[in-house]
Amino acid sequence: MEAQTPTARRHWLVEFYGSTVGKKWVMAITGVILMGFVVFHMIGNLKVFVPPVDGELEINLYGEWLRSVLFPALPHYVFLWILRLGLIVATVLHVEAMISLTRRNAAAKPQGYTKQEFQAASYASRTMRLTGPLVLAFVIFHLADLTWGIAPFNPDFIHGDVANNLTASLTRAGWVFFYAVANIALGYHLWHGLWSMFQSLGLNNPRYNAARRLFAQAVTVIVVGGNLLILAGVFFGFAPGI
């Protein structure tokens, strides 16, 4: 008889990470981190509406502050890079969890699904699969435009002058249109993502449906509404802070 090799026991965290429930938690936690970023990013960018004090533009001061959080305890940029690494890791894990959940769903699709159930589920997941990559593509374009200032994207970019860079970028109609479309896609993604997050974590007691719906709608309307207002303010010239 052949001897059986004992299977090495993996740490419970590794085990959990590999499970379907674990992937759903990863999706939810990283989604909430990314949501937190877009909420704070929008609030920070509302400084375009704050008139300058003593000739100083608050949006530029805010950019400088972000680069020097915890200075001199930490050198410039260190804290910002910790935040950036957190965002990069959250994005990678969010996408990885989505890919493995999609593969598992496809492999386990029950034969007895009613046509209606299948259509409803696939409509929601199809739109998530469309808006997710669109938002990711937008972020890369947006970094090239307003963070790295790569010449073909933003030829008048000046490092550290956020107000100048915003004006140079968002006074071009095509750019503003793309930013608006991407923000609407982000809104859809947030709305559906926040709503289904509770469902997939099993926190779906019908008693709290109204509260869940309100939460998903409020976050979406605040983020997308704020971003569209900023776009309009820069494009139509009613943002005194730039």
Q: Which residues bind ligand HEM (CB under 6 A)?
A: 38, 41, 45, 63, 66, 80, 84, 135, 139, 142-143, 146-147, 162, 166, 179, 183, 186, 227, 230-231
Minimal CB distance residue for ligand HEM: 63
Residue 38: CB minimum distance to ligand HEM, A? 5
Q: Where are the alpha helices (DSSP H) in the chain?
A: 12-18, 20-45, 58-67, 78-107, 115-146, 162-169, 173-200, 209-236
Nearer Cβ to ligand HEM, position 81 or 208? Answer: 81
Are 131 and 68 in contact by the 8 Å Cβ rule? The answer is: no
Nearer Cβ to ligand HEM, position 29 or 146? Answer: 146
Nearer Cβ to ligand HEM, position 29 or 80? Answer: 80
Reference 231, options 185, 187, 172; nearest CA is 172
Residue 162: CB minimum distance to ligand HEM, A? 5
> Which residues, listed in sequence order, are joined to residue 53 by a DSSP beta bridge?
56
Nearer Cβ to ligand HEM, position 89 or 121? Answer: 89
Residue position matching structure tokens 């820069």? 234
Are 179 and 204 in contact by the 8 Å Cβ rule? The answer is: no
Distance CA 203, CA 198 (A): 5
Backbone angles phi, psi at 96, to 5 degrees: -65, -45
Nearer Cβ to ligand HEM, position 30 or 183? Answer: 183
Nearer Cβ to ligand HEM, position 97 or 182? Answer: 182
Are 196 and 124 in contact by the 8 Å Cβ rule? The answer is: yes
First to last CA, the chain: 79
Q: In this structure, what token pair is assigned to residue 120?
A: 């409803």
Q: In this structure, what token pair is assigned to residue 25?
A: 């938690």
